[in-house]
Chain A
Amino acid sequence: MTAPAVALRTYTGRTSLAERAKTAARQGSPALLSLAALLAIFAVAVANQPGILSIPGLTLMLMSAVPLVFATQAQMLIMAVGDIDLGIGYLVGLVTVIAATLLDAQPLLGIGLLVGIVGVYALVGLLVERRGVPSIIVTLGMSFVWLGLGLQLLPTPGGAAPEWLAAIGSWRPTWIPGPLVFVVLATVVGWYLARHSRIGMRMRALGSSAPTLNKAGRSLTATRVIAFALAAVLVILAGLLLAAQTRSGDVNSATNFTLTTIAAVILGGGNFSGGRALPVGATFGAVTLGFITVLLSLVNLSSSLQSAAQGLIVLAVLAGRVITERFTR
């Protein structure tokens, strides 16, 4: 493949096992930490409600995480090129609205709108690269647009998702929790896009060292545009899956996704400066945050206190990350 990959491979090949373990611990520790938090929360949940350890129990537990995992993979792609998307929450909401209104009544117009969203994301990527505008502000502005479009299409929550979408949402195999399949699928897609494909390497290169990518003869603009477009596709999938579960549309149904996806990527070992894409870690982060919500309702915590508990747990896990990083250094 490209030169950096080869260089990295020979470099790691020559280092000692201890050195490699140390590097792995240092680079993988955030994801491992997220996994540890995930298992701990799962254990507490099982201790509280042993019924979780069944296929229907796991299905219920994982269900809310499915759209979040897809949205998190999208955020991961955007953060890999060094940007942040603050519009994801309302965009997921808008997609549920489109699914519950147009996709059923006028499928062609609905699909056209969804393709249009991908186009708009590509345009945002183009503007960020060519004009040097900060992605935080452009996506913040776009979030108003998504909210407005959603309100125009469906001022109050309602509508009905098409049959085929509802069928996907109610798919309940007997041998495996259905949502787990989707979670794994999202992770594999994220892994393929960000870690395995060539465009994934270009995205990470754009995030870590744009001049190098430029000198390697690759178009920075094309890379960023493709990253944004792919992210839009994943966000649309997240919205469709959310509509499949709720069977209705509400532009405000996923407002917390914006910041939760960022938190999930960071929990999973990502960073803000770009160049890093850890799909498995991002999934762990998203599932952890999804589990926290479920766990908090399981332990009968007053609903007023739930968001505080969520905030404190996020801080605790990130604090743990700082400690382990210091420890492995």
Chain B
Amino acid sequence: MITAPHPVPEATVVSVERSRPRLVWPAWGWSLVGVLLIWGFIIAVRPGAPFDPLAQALSLAPFLVLVALGQMLVITLGPGNIDVSVGTIISMSSYVSVAVSVVAGPVAGLVAAVGVGLVAGAVSVVAILLLRVPPIIATLATSLIVSSATLLLSDANRAAADAGLRVLVNAKLLGVPVSALFVAVVTVLIALMFTRTRFGLSIVAVGQSLRAAERAGLRVKTLTAIAYLVCAAFAGLAGGLLAAFISPSTVLGTSYMLDSVAVVVIGGTLVSGGRPVPVGTWTGAMFFVLLSGLLNLVGWPVGAQNILKGLLVVTVVLISTASTGTGRSTLARLRASLNPHKKETTNG
């Protein structure tokens, strides 16, 4: 059985896993299955031009992926870590980037957008580390402050995004949006950071065991600060890009708060921290974007779309927690977990 030359059939996976893990089901596998399923449905509903829906999704997904990468960094820090301010940061930075780019050019606009994120992130970090406010409340307070600032900015600003930036964000290289390529590079860098750099490994260590990380001499506070700052900066950058892709608005980022968390979890990142899955943000985001595309295509009302979205998130979490015990998810683990008696013998 160990020398099985072909991909292992389902029925024998259990015994293969016991002897030597050959077929390791990647954590983002389920979301990829979801992406392919939804893609299949879309093709079934609207035959012809099968790659069109993918191309459309690729132009919307990068922004969500960018926000989700930051959220993943924060969630990986461990239980209780979540950034609920990303949505309002996106809205605010969209206004700032537009206002700045009118005066000082598109690059300065994007830099300003990142700057907005960093300032907002700094407020959260001060609240979390100095005032010892739980992250969810600290980032909530930040988001309240940021949303006020957004309202003030929206009263003063009526400019449109810089034309140059607009062209760049909408540009395509060999059919793939430039923004998608850019975010793909960022994803690779984040993935390398988690596997190769001391910083990335330290964040994973903090997420796996805060106490052990402290005993090992890691600077937990510095790591926490950097994670929240990077998350807010990514949200700021996404806002700056979205300003050019769509247009600034006070509700531009609202849906990104919940969506970013959902995408991270669907992508296979452990919500309890300690295991980031950078690739999963792509499969998760594509799944989300394609799904709403499909539901719009078949004409589901917004209400029903939300119900399905919610139930899917819950189902995916149920499946993924059942199938991921210790950071490696396999079909075998899922099968075992579905059978309580077997579960005790294989996991215990």
* Interface of B (DSSP majority class): helix
A137-B313 contact given A263-B137, A304-B152, A312-B145, CB 8 Å threshold: yes
Query: In the complex, A163→B122 CA distance in Å?
Result: 50
B271 touches A136 (CB 8 A): yes
* Interface of A (DSSP majority class): helix
- The stretch among A20-28, A38-46, A143-151, A167-175 that forms the contact with chain B is A143-151
B131 touches A127 (CB 8 A): no
Contact code string A130-174 (vs B, CB < 8 Å = 1, else 0)? 011110111011111111111111010000000000000000000
Q: How far is the CB of A58 from chain B (nearest CB, A)?
A: 27
A307-B148 contact given A140-B313, A145-B307, A145-B311, CB 8 Å threshold: yes
A311-B304 contact given A305-B152, A322-B131, CB 8 Å threshold: no
A310 touches B303 (CB 8 A): no
Contact code string B297-324 (vs A, CB < 8 Å = 1, else 0)? 0000111111111111110011001100
A266-B141 contact given A143-B310, A308-B148, CB 8 Å threshold: no
Interface residues of B in 290-348 (CB under 8 A from A): 301-314, 317-318, 321-322
Q: A272: which B residues are within 8 A, CB to CB?
A: 80, 134, 136
Residue B262 contacts which of A141, A153, A262, A322 (CB distance < 8 angstroms)? A141
Query: In the complex, A127→B155 CA distance in Å?
Result: 46
A304 touches B303 (CB 8 A): no
B317 touches A133 (CB 8 A): yes
Q: A134: which B residues are within 8 A, CB to CB?
A: 271-272, 317, 321
B317 touches A137 (CB 8 A): yes
A140 touches B131 (CB 8 A): no
Chain A residue total in the interface (Cβ 8 A): 44
Task: Using CB atoms and an 8 Å cutoff, list the residues of chain A in contact with chain B.
Answer: 84, 127, 131-134, 136-138, 140-153, 155, 259, 262-263, 266, 272, 303-312, 314-315, 318-319, 322
- A to B CB contacts below 8 Å, 28 in the list: A84-B136, A131-B318, A133-B318, A136-B271, A137-B265, A137-B271, A137-B314, A141-B262, A141-B312, A141-B314, A144-B258, A144-B306, A145-B306, A147-B306, A148-B303, A148-B304, A148-B306, A148-B309, A153-B303, A259-B136, A303-B151, A304-B151, A307-B147, A314-B140, A314-B144, A315-B127, A322-B131, A322-B132
